[in-house]
């Protein structure tokens, strides 16, 4: 059973000078982490936080990791915040810990992580007796999950759930070499699971919240051989390498997740690195489901983890034959069974022991899982249904396009139409772009929306509903 109190003491005692955490600004040993966490726990208890409170944390990696561990010592429920500006009615936080005041949460008591609080933490005595949780089934974390729809739902995880997830085999367990740098920030399930996996075995958790010279310095200094992140995050790193002229020959492995990598992106990695590339498929609800190595001869499908059962079903929920596309559902012994205090969403996405992630795909002749799109994102163009991923793959290859995302919007005539948001440079020519998209996909974008940045969730998935709203407001 994952016991934060015991783990902190264990590594602080047996390997006190070993690194426990590294980011762009600091290196922290296990002795320092143990002391920091216990001082923070004292300060938060003095501020009024107690067992059972729901505490929102909106902090950079180390402060977030530190606070989360301290809150577990106090027996509080941790709600990491990424891009939320509000919470659904079923979620009612008792506290909000942040670096700055956020007017969106003015009704929630705020603990400002400022110099005054840092002074209190320095002067605080390490918590002598950590109350912890009353029961192993008490909720430790509430993780938000939205897929690509932007509709927030929450998965509750207890100490039992965290332990089970940490014990699961993840792609990082199979392919990574010390040290591994996780680019998604602590707070999302991907990075948080990695943090607890590293803590459980007494290894350093490397996390970075910037893409600048500090990231390059971190990679070099810590001899990082494995990078874990979304295609957009890896792409930003490659942009930085191109800008600075710095190469990273020590990188041997990439573990991708969040969204399906395009062939253009894969080719770009191969141009800059002599590295193996792995693509992972999974969810907050179900953990790691399948993985594949991306080689020039690789089949499209990912190998399904042995403890996972995956089925492809039709619109009547009947299992379809091998090679036939349909809706994906899966189950395993250890996975979420419901959304926290949300029976409506639970009944829609959890049925008969299976989780329905809203993805489309098929099982190939090798027994591998091939992902082809999202049900909620399928664009209906006058009866012709098309996946936005298909458009994305064509759009990203066009001259002048640095990033892109296709999406649907409802035009003034009430008809659903296709739009493509693009981040471009001086080589972009809209008319050539539209013609090439038509030639390659037989889909004709009604709108080309030039934007500064494609909105994505913390794992790199495109938030297409936000693009639809942007188009409606423009």
Residue 88 in domain: yes
Full residue range of the structural domain in which residue 36 is found: 4-167
- Give residue-wise pLDDT tens across range 446-458: 999 999 999 988 7
Supply the pLDDT for residue 148.
42
**Final residue of a structural domain among 114, 147, 167:** 167
Q: What mean pLDDT is predicted for residues 227-256?
A: 92
Residue 158 in domain: yes
Q: What mean pLDDT is predicted for residues 326-346?
A: 95
Residue 361 in domain: no
User: What is the 8-class DSSP label of residue 377?
Assistant: G
Q: What pTM value is reported for the model?
A: 0.85
CATH of the domain at 426: 3.30.300.30
CATH of the domain at 128: 3.40.50.12780
Query: Which range is least confidently modeled, 123-132, 345-354, 377-386?
Result: 377-386
To the nearest whole percent, how much of the chain has pLDDT over 90? 74
Supply the pLDDT for residue 26.
95
Range picked from 99-103, 167-171, 337-341 for highest mean pLDDT: 337-341
Number of domains in the chain: 2
Q: What mean pLDDT is predicted for residues 87-113?
A: 91
Residue 277 in domain: no
Q: What does the angle CA 38 – CA 40 – CA 45 come to, to the nearest 5 degrees?
A: 95
To the nearest whole percent, how much of the chain has pLDDT over 70? 96
Query: Which range is least confidently modeled, 206-215, 372-381, 461-470?
Result: 372-381
Q: Does residue 212 sit in helix, strand or coil?
A: coil
Residue 79 in domain: yes
Residue 16 in domain: yes
Q: Which residue has the higher pLDDT, 78 or 376?
A: 78
**Final residue of a structural domain among 167, 202, 234:** 167
Supply the pLDDT for residue 264.
80
**Final residue of a structural domain among 125, 150, 167:** 167
Residue 200 in domain: no
- Mark out the alpha helices in 144-247 (DSSP H runs): 159-167, 171-175, 189-201, 213-221, 231-244
Please check the confidence at residue 146 and state whether its pLDDT lies above 80. Answer: no
pLDDT band at 460 (very low <50, low <70, confident <90, very high): confident
Supply the pLDDT for residue 416.
82
Supply the pLDDT for residue 149.
45
Please check the confidence at residue 354 and state whether its pLDDT lies above 60. Answer: yes
Supply the pLDDT for residue 141.
97
Rg of the chain over CA atoms, in angstroms? 23
- Give residue-wise pLDDT tens across range 377-431: 888 786 677 889 889 999 999 999 999 999 999 887 677 889 999 999 999 999 9
Q: Residue 436 and residue 447: Cα distance in Å, rounded?
A: 14
Supply the pLDDT for residue 194.
94
Q: Residue 125 and residue 40: Cα distance in Å, rounded?
A: 9
Q: What mean pLDDT is predicted for residues 249-270?
A: 89
CA distances from 358 to 145, 303, 313, 328, 402 (A): 12, 19, 12, 7, 28
Q: What mean pLDDT is predicted for residues 461-469?
A: 90
Q: What mean pLDDT is predicted for residues 222-230?
A: 93
Supply the pLDDT for residue 151.
63
Residue 288 in domain: no
């Amino acid at each position: 059973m994952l016991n934060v109190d015991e783990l902190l003491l264990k590594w602080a005692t047996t390997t006190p000078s070993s690194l426990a955490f590294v980011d762009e600004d600091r290196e922290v040993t296990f002795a320092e982490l143990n002391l920091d966490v216990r001082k923070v726990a004292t300060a938060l208890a003095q501020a009024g936080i107690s067992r059972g409170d729901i505490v929102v944390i909106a902090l950079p990696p180390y402060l977030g990791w530190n606070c989360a561990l301290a809150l577990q010592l106090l027996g509080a429920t941790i709600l990491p915040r990424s891009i939320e500006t509000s919470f659904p009615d079923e979620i009612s936080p008792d506290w909000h810990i942040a670096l700055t005041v956020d007017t969106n949460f003015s009704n929630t008591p705020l603990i400002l992580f400022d110099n005054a609080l840092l002074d209190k933490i320095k002067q605080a005595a390490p918590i002598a007796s950590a109350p912890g949780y009353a029961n192993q089934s008490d909720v430790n974390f509430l993780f938000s999950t939205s897929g690509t729809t932007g509709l927030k739902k929450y998965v509750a995880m207890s100490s039992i759930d965290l332990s089970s997830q940490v014990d699961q085999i993840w792609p990082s367990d199979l392919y990574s070499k010390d040290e591994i740098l996780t680019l998604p920030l602590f707070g999302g399930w991907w990075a948080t699971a990695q943090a607890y996996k590293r803590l459980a075995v007494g290894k350093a958790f490397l996390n970075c919240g910037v893409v600048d010279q500090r990231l390059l310095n971190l990679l070099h200094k810590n001899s990082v051989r494995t990078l874990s992140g979304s295609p957009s995050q890896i792409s930003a790193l490659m942009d930085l390498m191109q800008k600075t002229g710095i190469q990273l020959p020590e990188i041997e492995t990439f573990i991708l997740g969040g969204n399906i990598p395009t062939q253009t992106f894969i080719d770009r990695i191969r141009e800059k690195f002599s590295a193996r590339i792995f693509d992972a498929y999974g969810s907050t609800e179900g953990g790691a489901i399948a993985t594949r190595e991306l080689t020039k001869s690789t089949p499209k499908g990912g190998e399904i983890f042995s403890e996972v059962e995956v089925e492809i079903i039709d619109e009547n929920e009947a299992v379809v034959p091998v090679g036939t596309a349909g809706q994906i559902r899966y189950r395993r012994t250890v996975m979420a069974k419901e959304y926290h205090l949300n029976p409506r969403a639970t009944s829609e996405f959890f049925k008969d022991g299976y989780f329905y992630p809203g993805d489309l795909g098929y099982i190939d002749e090798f027994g591998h899982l091939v992902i082809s799109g999202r049900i909620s994102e399928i664009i209906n163009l006058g009866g012709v249904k098309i996946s936005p991923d298909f458009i994305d793959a064509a759009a990203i290859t066009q001259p002048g396009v640095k990033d892109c995302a296709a999406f649907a919007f409802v035009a003034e005539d009430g008809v659903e139409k296709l739009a493509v948001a693009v981040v471009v440079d001086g080589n972009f020519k809209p008319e050539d772009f539209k013609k090439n998209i038509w030639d390659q996909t037989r889909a004709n974008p009604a709108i080309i929306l030039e934007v500064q940045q494609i909105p994505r969730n913390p794992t790199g998935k495109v938030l297409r509903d936000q693009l639809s709203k942007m188009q409606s407001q423009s």
